[in-house]
Structures are given as C-alpha cells and as structure tokens.
Amino acid sequence: MTYAEFAETQDKSALRPLARAIYFWRKTFNIFEMELRKIRHDPFNLLTRAIQPLLWMLIFGQVLAGARGIPTGGFSYIEFMAPGILAQSVLFVSIFYGLALIWERDLGIIHKFLASPAPRTALVLGKGLGAGIRGCSQATIVLLTMWLMGVNVDWNILKLLAVFATVLLGSVVFATLSLIIAIWMKERERFMGVGQVLTMPLFFASNAIYPISMMPDWLQRISMFNPLTYMVDALRALILVGAESSYGLGFDLGLLAVVGVILIAIAAKIYPSFIT
C-alpha cells in the first residue's frame, strides 16, 4: 500500500465524528510540535520577552505602590497588578503572532500548509497553542517575580494548573485575533499599524492595572466587551490567596473559550484568502 492509498483510507474514516475529532487534534498537535521546536531552537527569545513584564512590575508597580487612592480590594498594589501584568504580557506576545504569519506567507510556507490535507482550523489552533507556550513561560517568570517581591501567591497545584490553562486560553484568543488581522491586512506595515492601535486600548480598557470601578462609565461599558478583562479576573482569583473573581471563574473561562472558538472559525474560514 502506498502512502497515498493509506491516506485515502484515512480519509474515509474521517467521516465519523469521533475519528474526525481525533484527526483534528492530531493535526493541531503536529502544528503545535512545530512551534515548540522553533522555540527550542531559540530559547533566548523567551527571556528577552520577559523583560517587559518585569519592568512593569518592578518600576511601574513599585512607584504606584505608594498611591493610596486605588481601591484594590484589600490587596497591595503589586499584588493587584501582577496578574494584570501577566495577562498584558500574554496579550503583547500573542497579538504580534500575526506578524510571524505574514513573514511565513511571504516566504511561501503558508502555501504549502494550505495545500496539505490538514484542516485549516487545526492550522490556526496549533499556532495559537504555540503562542500559549510563550505565554506560559511568561507566567512562570511573573509568578517567580511575584514570589521574590513577597506577594502571597497561591501555590495550590490545581490553581497553578488553572493559571496556565487560563494563559493558554488567553494566548489562543489573542493569537487568533492577531492571525485574523494579519489575514485581513495582508501586508506587514498595515498589520503593525492595526496591531499598535489595538493593543493599548485592549490593555487600558481592562482591569489589568486599575479596577473597573475607577473607570468612567463609557470605559466601564467597553471593558465588559474586552476578553482581557475576563482573563485578568480569572488570573487574579487564581493567583492571589483570598481573592475572588468578579464574574465567576467558570464564566471567565467559558467566555474566553467561546470567543476562542468563534475566532478560530473565522480565521479558518478566511485563511485561504491570505495567499491570493
């Protein structure tokens, strides 16, 4: 039996839903593995990316720690902001993932993937999970820094796993959003423009470095439609001892998952137009 014949038998079994789901996840992990191998060849990159959140915590956080007017719900300002900075760094790492995609498109790598039988949804999710690995390395560094700064981090193993799951979920959401912008904008320069215009508002219209209650009404309303708000809410509840989530952990994670699924479906749908 040739490989092609083997592949054809595979194709028939793919008609059944379960086999199809398994196939989808296998292809997703193939792409994920590729992203993982890329990171392994350039681990230094992970460290340089960690500088930005560290600066936020060590400088911005220290300075604002002196401000008394921010209602942080009984936590020190550093405690309050650290989960927000983690979410922010995940956002910043993921939102420029589309740039790598444009680069790969310019080279021709994307063409070859699109001409392969791998489902487009798997190509998208695999990339998103790749961004998640970078996010998880950020999470590790931020958590260790929090600990060194004397923050009372909840080291409960289940909560810790949930932190990483949240980071993974958030990475998929923002990386996929970034892919959609890349597919839509097509060129690097235009992508950079939109990327920059988008990241700061997402960051500021969230509860990352100040509580929603401090915002003017109009901004409060906008922040409710911002996925970052729910990611920060979940991270805060999971990382800080004694913190509670404002919207419910299940709601936070469920909302991120639903947004992720919708974004992946959109990205997969418009993916082929990226190369024409």
Partner 1 sequence: MNIIETQGLTRDFGKFTAVDGVDLTLAEGEIFGLLGPNGAGKTTMLRMLTTLLPPSRGEAHVAGYDVVRQANQVRRVIGYVPQLLSADGTLSGYENLLIFAKLYDLPRAQREQRIHHLLSIMGLEDAAAKLVKTYSGGMIRRLEIAQSVLHAPRVLFLDEPTVGLDPIARASVWEHIQRLREEFSTTILLTTHYMDEADELCQRIAILHHGQVAAIGAPAELKAGLNRNGVSLDDVFSHYAGGAIEASGSYINVSRTRDDVRRIR
Indicate whether 22 belongs to the interface with partner 1 (CB under 8 A).
no
34 is an interface residue for partner 1 by CB under 8 A:
yes
Instruction: Report d(CA 228, CA 216) in Å as an integer.
Output: 18
Report if residue 37 touches partner 1, rule: CB under 8 A: yes
Contact positions with partner 1 (CB under 8 A) in 50-79? none
- Binding flag, residue 225, partner 1 (CB under 8 A): no
Question: Judged by CB under 8 A, does residue 115 bind partner 1?
Answer: yes
- Judged by CB under 8 A, does residue 189 bind partner 1? no
Q: Are 129 and 30 in contact (CB under 8 A)?
A: no
Q: Give the count of beta carbons closer than 10 Å to the beta carbon of residue 147.
A: 12
Interaction between residue 187 and partner 1 (CB under 8 A): no
Helix (H/G/I), strand (E/B), else coil: 96: coil
| Of the residues 27, 127, 134, 236, which one makes contact with partner 1 according to CB under 8 A | 27
Question: Is 38 a residue that touches partner 1 (CB under 8 A)?
Answer: yes
Pick from 17, 43, 66, 108 the residue near partner 1 by CB under 8 A.
Answer: 108
In the bound state with partner 1, the residue whose beta carbon lies nearer, of 120 and 236, is 120
Structure tokens at 197: 């215009």
Strand partners, 240: 153
Residue appearing with tokens 């983690």:
86
Q: What is the DSSP letter of 153?
A: B
Angle at 181 between CA 179 and CA 184, to 5 degrees: 110
Specify the stretch interacting with partner 1 by CB under 8 A; choose among 30-38, 128-136, 165-173, 186-194.
Answer: 30-38
User: Contacts with partner 1: how many residues (CB under 8 A)?
Assistant: 33
Cβ 56 vs Cβ 91: under 8 Å? no
Q: Applying CB under 8 A, does 3 fall inside the site for partner 1?
A: yes
Establish if 41 lies at the interface with partner 1 (CB under 8 A).
yes
CB 274 within 8 A of CB 257: no
Contact stretch for partner 1 (CB under 8 A) within 28-36, 58-66, 72-80, 213-221? 28-36
Backbone angles phi, psi at 271, to 5 degrees: -50, -50
Q: Determine, following the binding rule CB under 8 A, whether residue 270 of this chain makes contact with partner 1.
A: no
HSE at residue 151, side-chain half, CA atoms within 13 A, is 30
Residue 102 CA to residue 258 CA, distance in Å, equals: 26
Binding site for partner 1 (CB under 8 A): 2-4, 6-8, 10-11, 27, 30-31, 33-34, 37-38, 41-42, 104, 106-109, 111-118, 272, 275-276
